[in-house]
Structure formats: C-alpha cells, structure tokens
Amino acid sequence: MKKIVILISGRGSNMQAIVETCIAQQWPAQIAAVISNKADAAGLAFAASHGIPTAVVVSKEFSSRDAFDAALQQKIDEFEPDLVVLAGFMRILTPAFVAHYARRMLNIHPSLLPSFVGLHTHQQALDAGVKLHGATVHFVTAELDHGPIVAQAAVEVLNNDSEDSLSQRVLRQEHIIYPRAVRQFIEGKISVSGHHVTIADA
C-alpha cells in the first residue's frame, strides 16, 4: 500500500479529485496526509471529512524559505510518503527540498509547458493569442515549472474566452489527468530517463 501526501494552499480542488478517484477506483494507496501552509485553507476541511490526517505548517511564521522548507519536510516525512503531490501549493520550493523528494514529487501546472511558466497562465495564453492552452503534470525539479512531463491535456482557446472561462475548462481537464498520473506512479508504470517520461501500457 503506497502512501501519498498532498500539499495545498487553498481549496485544493485537485486534491479533492485525487482523493475521490483513489476511493472510487480503489487504488493500492492511501492518502496519508493533507498538509497546508495556510491554516484557513478550505481543502483541510474536505480532507478531515474523509478521515485523512491534516497538518498545517504556516509559511509566514518562518524567517526564511530554507527554515520553512526544513519544517515542512520534517512534517511530510512523519507520514513516510512514497509520493508527494502538489495541488495548488503556492510556494517556490528550495533546491534542497526538491532534491529530497527527487522523482517522487509531482505538480500540475495550468499551461502546456514549457509555455507560460509562473502565475496568471490563462491570461498569458490569452495575451499571446494561442489557439491551444491546457495543463501539464510534471515531476518537480529545482527549475520552476520545468520538470519531466508526465501528462498534458489541451483545451481550445475560444474567441470569446475570458481568463475565468478558460481557467474553468482547463481545471476540468486537470481533474482528469492529475489523478490518472498519480495512479500511474503508484502502480509503478512511470519511468524517467533524463527529461523524458515513459508510461507503461499508455
């Protein structure tokens, strides 16, 4: 039985999708904990209502990124995870933290990487006039939003799209590809060579 720890900063809709899919599909895994850097993160209540242990490591209480990441790492490791999943966790992580979870930490980014890294990706896509936008599941590396790509989903950009309408359609795809990628990891179907990911039976 593999253990998953999920990190959130807000409502954690991707966390909810992963939890619900894990239960519905009876993965050989358990959500060992949901941890937030914000005490008022709405997703904590959802996790608790499903009997999942929760914890809070408040980022603003630490004097440096290094100090926060060290405390967060200590809390995560109490649950002995096989996989750490970032689900709307709004922190830039230090290289030492990323290295500790190398090849066992996933993130989802709301763009078709390597395009539109960072924040406000939907507005970036609209400003650039692209015809396709989407979401990317990737392994986390020290370089922001540049880790090996596990999965992507494309969404057509419509002429009348706003940042909000585009983000809603992308989010629906996130809720499909992220749980699927997590399950593939848990089942040992993902292998990484350099920057390339291969998925067995895909």
Q: What whole-number distance in Å separates Cα of residue 115 and Cα of residue 40?
A: 32
Distances (CA, A) of 71 to 40, 53, 160: 19, 17, 45
Q: By the 8 A CB rule, do 112 and 147 touch?
A: no
Indicate the pairing of strand 196-199 with strand 29-36.
unpaired
109 is catalytic: yes
Q: What whole-number distance in Å separates Cα of residue 82 and Cα of residue 23?
A: 18
Q: What whole-number distance in Å separates Cα of residue 57 and Cα of residue 35?
A: 7
Q: How many CB atoms lie within 10 A of CB 96?
A: 13
Contacts of 63 (CB under 8 A, 6+ apart): none
Q: What whole-number distance in Å separates Cα of residue 171 and Cα of residue 146?
A: 20
- Say if residue 95 is preceded by a cis peptide, omega within 30 of 0: no
Annotated active-site residue in 50, 100, 109, 175? 109
Q: By the 8 A CB rule, do 127 and 133 touch?
A: no
Please list the active-site residues.
109
